[in-house]
Structure formats: C-alpha cells, structure tokens
Amino acid sequence: MRSSALFSPPADKSLGDSRAIAYLLLLVWMGVLLLSTNGEQSLMAFDEGNFAAEARFMVESGNWLARQWWGQPVYTHGIALNWLMASSYVLFGQGDWAARLPSIVTAIGASLLTYEIGRTVLPNRPMALVGALILAIMPLWFQYGRLATQDMPLVFLELLGIWALLQAETFPRYRFFWGLLAGTVLGLGFLMKSFMILLPSVALLPYLIGQQRRHRHLTNLGLYLGLLIGLTAVGLWILLSVRLYGDSVLPALFGKIAELSDQPFHSDANALYYFWNIPANAFPWPLFTLIACLIGWRRPRPDLFGRRSPYGLLLWGYPFVLAGLLTLFPTRTPYYALQLYPFMALLAAIAMAALTQPPWRRIGQILSDSFGILGWVLVIVALISIVGIPGVSLPSEAQTYQYLALILGTGLGLLPYWWRVKSGEQPYTWIAGWLLPIWLTIAVAGFSGLLGNYAPDLKAALQSPDVYAQLADQPVDFVVEPQFDGPTHQTWVLLTVYTPQLGSLKQATADLAPNHYAWVSPNLDLATAPPHRVVTQIRQWHLIQTR
C-alpha cells in the first residue's frame, strides 16, 4: 500500500509540525471568525441574556457568591461562568463583547487544545492541525464560540483535563503535576455546569481502565489530590451558600439533575435526536467523521485504526461512549453535543487524509464531484437572485444570503478541479479547497452583520437618542405581572441587560413613586398607575415616567 504524506511523519518542519506556525494560523483562523462583525451586536435572550443579567447583578450588588436575579439567588447551575463574565465587566465595562469574552477566549483555547491532543493521538501532526481548523468552522461550534453561555468554557475544561492526562504520559517525570491539573478540572467543571461534567468523566473510563498498565493514571496520587482540591472548592462554595441563603440552595442545585432527567428539552428529542441534529449543525464534517469510522471498521490500519494504536481507547472510545451517554440522557439539546465536536473534527481529519490515497481515493472523488455540483447549483441560484430573471421569483431570504451562496458555491464548485489536479501530489491543496470557502463564507457573514445580532430591534430602540438621553442617568423600575409567556420573559431579560440604570422590582404600578421611570409588562393595566406619560413602547412593554 502506497503511503500518503498525510499519514507519514514529516521529515522537515512542515506547517502542521511547527507548533509556533500552527498556533499562529489557528489564532488568525479562529480570531477572524469570532471577532467578525459590522459593529452591531446584541445578546440572545436565553441563555445569553440570563447570564449577562446575573453577572450584572453580581457586580452592582457586590455579592459574588450566588447568581443573582433581581435580588434572588439562583442555584440551578454552577457559578464559574458568572464569575468570568462579572470579571470581564469589571475589567472592560458592561457590554456584549465583555459578556461574550469568556466564550471567545475558551473557544480559541479549545481549538489549540484540540491541536495539541491531535499531535499526540494522531500519527501525523499536520492531521492534528487540519482537525483543529475543521473544528473552528463547524457551524454550531462557531456559533457557541460567540455566545455568552457555559458550553464553550465547559468543553475547554474537558479538553484541558484530557490534555493534562496526555502530558502525564508524555512527561512521566512530571506526572504528579499533570495529574493534579487533570483532577482539579473535575471540580472546576462542576462550578461551570454542575453535573454535566460527570458525563465526560465517565466516558474517559475505558481509556483510564483499559490502558492503565501503560499510562498508570489511576495510581497517580496527583490525580486524586487534584480531585480533592476541585471538590473542596465546590464544597466550600456550597457551604458558604447554605450559610447565607439557607437549605433551599441544595434542592435548587441538586434537584436540577432530577428535573433534566424527568422530561426532555425538545418534544421531538427521542433516542435518534443526535443522529440528525449533529449532521444538521456541523455539516458537512460529520460526513467525514462517519467515513473515518467506516474506514476504521472495514480496513483498519495498524498505525491509525488498529488496536496497536496506544491512544485508540481515547481517540475512538471516548467520543463513542460520550455519545452513548448523551443519547441515553433524557434531556437532549444541540449544545450538549458540542462536547463531541473536537474528536469529530480529529476523526474528520483522519478521513480527509485517508481519502487522498488508495484504496479510498474513489470516495474522495465522489465527494468532490458531488459537492462540486452542489456548489454550482448555489452559484446559479445566487446569480439568479443578483441579476434577476423575468418570471423567476425567489424567497426574500435569497437576497440576504445571495453573496454568501456565491462565495461558498464558487469554492465548492472548484473541488473537482482541486481533486483531479492536486489531490495526488499536493493533498493539502485539496483539503484547503474544502476549508477555505466555508471559512470565508462565515467571515463574510460576520462582517456583514448577519451573525451575533439577536435582538437588534430592542437594542436600537433603547439606544435611540430620545430614549437614551432620558434613561442614561435615571434608575428605571420594573413592574412585572405574576405570570407571563416566553416572549414577554425574554424581553424582560433583555431590558434588564440593556437598561442603563436599574431601579427596583415592583409588584404593581400603584407602587411607583412620583417622577420615576418604569418598564411595565404587557398585560398590566396602566390605568391603575399614578399619573404618567408613556415614553416609548418596545415589544409591548411600556416605558413610563410618573409625574
């Protein structure tokens, strides 16, 4: 069997073998995507708005022990993300970028850790770089890298723990230190997203137990000391919380796992949920992951797919066990699957390497031709939308995305050419033909303002000169009804985030003091309010000023 350069260890310092060059490329690759914007950004009500509001209450109240919501402690999840966001507010001021900064930084860190893990578990370091580049352009991964949620920091911690275990193998002289770091991550993961850290911990057991004779992690005292340190931090946080807020803390924190186990998040989230949801949110890369799995099963190579690989139970066992655990867990959401994406990306890199050499080149040609046809279809549709053809009507959304379709379609349309001309002697050119069009499309979408702006109407209304001039230095009370629907709650969250000065929460409009501003929720009767004037209305919420 002819050996491909993508499988063979490089003889010189190639792009993927030079850590410094690879890091620089990844920083630029990720940085452009995560920072791409036209200057207009706004938060998603759930869950970004919740975390942003809680972090704001933390900073303004000076109480950093619990997540805060209008004076009430919230203990449904861990608190680490709120600490990070509140710290970002203190350093950079309150704003959308400050709220999203922890996710942006940890997304970049997760990409670098994926590369470092790939350098160890894959037979060729350039393949590790390809995997990290693929990870960044998986649509859902890129989206959550720009969202102020717990998910990206959680995945970063999981990868940090795995990398620390691999470092303990690579540098046995310092195995105690690396074990200490790996163990501590468990406690940090609980502080980030409570019990969700247990699933990846269980998924590591085949690797930890099955290859104990080689790596000896389970006899590393540093690992257990790290576990003790991490759990002590969690215990101290819970103890201080119980002392301040009483016994209600424990049911709120530990009851969340029972709540998630009782009912699914989505009505259609059956056992097959991830089988369609992951391909939809990471297309086309799960297709390459599947190809890697099929190749590994049908024609295992000793250096990559066979049992002789010292990291087989990590590279293959960990994601498959974790996928099984996520499938068995009744609550299923798209962002839970983000924990699988780094290893999916590494397996996709394996597939891309394999498809450039016999006997799998035929599959590579079929994929190139198929996506090439798809690309030219996109080009034709884009040109019809741009130029216009009498009698041909396209949906209004087509005009919004016509130039993106033109960029992506042109890149995909060239895949058959790159395959026939370059895949043999220069396979990296063919791989770049897959990666660059998707990366460029995402970047253009970001700089065009199509990404990351989830509540433009509300934020623009609050920042209009007439409204902002009145609210900039005036505290604004909130009067909310006892029960309201989801959209009303979402608006409440965003108004809490974006109102410059927050007042207090009132039970009725009659409680408002004279000469005060207040947001009044939609179903409350303004007739019962003191004499007032309506300043503006946003999503059926009324901003009034009492006389």
In terms of Cα–Cα distance, which of 218, 186, 191 is closest to 201?
186
User: What does residue 267 show for φ and ψ, rounded to 5 degrees?
Assistant: -65, -25
For the segment 158-185, the average pLDDT, to the nearest whole number, is 95
For the segment 133-159, the average pLDDT, to the nearest whole number, is 95
Q: What is the pLDDT of residue 296?
A: 76
Between 151-165, 274-288, 391-405, 460-474, the lowest mean confidence (pLDDT) is in 391-405
> Higher model confidence: residue 102 or residue 267?
102
Q: What is the pLDDT of residue 251?
A: 86
For the segment 280-307, the average pLDDT, to the nearest whole number, is 77
Whose tokens are 């490089």? That residue is 10
pLDDT in tens, 225-234: 999 999 999 9
pLDDT in tens, 66-96: 999 998 998 888 899 999 999 999 999 999 9
For the cut 50, the answer to whether the pLDDT of residue 144 exceeds it is: yes
Q: Alpha helices, DSSP H only, in 388-426?
A: 396-413, 415-422
**Sequence ranges of the domains in the chain:** 19-353, 364-441, 456-546
For the segment 199-225, the average pLDDT, to the nearest whole number, is 93
Average pLDDT for the chain: 88
Q: What is the pLDDT of residue 3?
A: 42
For the cut 90, the answer to whether the pLDDT of residue 216 exceeds it is: yes
> Higher model confidence: residue 247 or residue 118?
118
Q: Is the N-terminal amide bond of 47 cis, ω within 30° of 0?
A: yes
Position 302 confidence tier, pLDDT thresholds 50, 70, 90:
low
User: What does residue 449 show for φ and ψ, rounded to 5 degrees?
Assistant: 85, 15
Percent of the chain with pLDDT over 90: 63
Helix (H) or strand (E) holding 161: helix 151-170
Q: What is the pLDDT of residue 182?
A: 96
Q: Which amino acid is at 359?
A: P
Position 11 confidence tier, pLDDT thresholds 50, 70, 90:
very low
pTM for the full predicted model: 0.92
Q: What is the pLDDT of residue 4?
A: 46
Q: What is the pLDDT of residue 481?
A: 86
Taking the C-alpha atoms of residue 530 and residue 547, their distance in angstroms, rounded to an integer, is 8
For the cut 50, the answer to whether the pLDDT of residue 267 exceeds it is: no
Chain CA centroid to CA 54, Å:
20
For the segment 284-288, the average pLDDT, to the nearest whole number, is 95
Q: What is the pLDDT of residue 309?
A: 65
pLDDT in tens, 107-125: 999 999 999 999 999 877 8
Q: What is the pLDDT of residue 16?
A: 53
Cβ atoms within 10 Å, residue 246: 10
Whose tokens are 């891309």? That residue is 352
Q: Which amino acid is at 281?
A: N
Q: What is the pLDDT of residue 110?
A: 97
Whose tokens are 């109240």? That residue is 61
Q: What is the pLDDT of residue 195?
A: 83
Q: What is the pLDDT of residue 519?
A: 94
For the segment 367-388, the average pLDDT, to the nearest whole number, is 92
Taking the C-alpha atoms of residue 533 and residue 547, their distance in angstroms, rounded to an integer, is 8
pLDDT in tens, 37-58: 988 899 998 889 999 999 999 9
Percent of the chain with pLDDT over 70: 90
For the cut 60, the answer to whether the pLDDT of residue 259 exceeds it is: no
Between 11-25, 123-137, 390-404, 438-452, the lowest mean confidence (pLDDT) is in 11-25
pLDDT in tens, 333-346: 899 999 999 999 99
Taking the C-alpha atoms of residue 86 and residue 178, their distance in angstroms, rounded to an integer, is 29
Q: What is the pLDDT of residue 12?
A: 40
3-state secondary structure 200-263: HHHHCHHHHHHCHHHHCHHHCHHHHHHHHHHHHHHHHHHHHHHHHHCCCHHHHHHHHHHHHHHC
For residue 87, the number of C-alpha atoms closer than 13 Å in the C-beta half-sphere is 8
Q: What is the pLDDT of residue 124?
A: 78
For the cut 60, the answer to whether the pLDDT of residue 282 exceeds it is: yes
The residue length of the chain stands at: 547
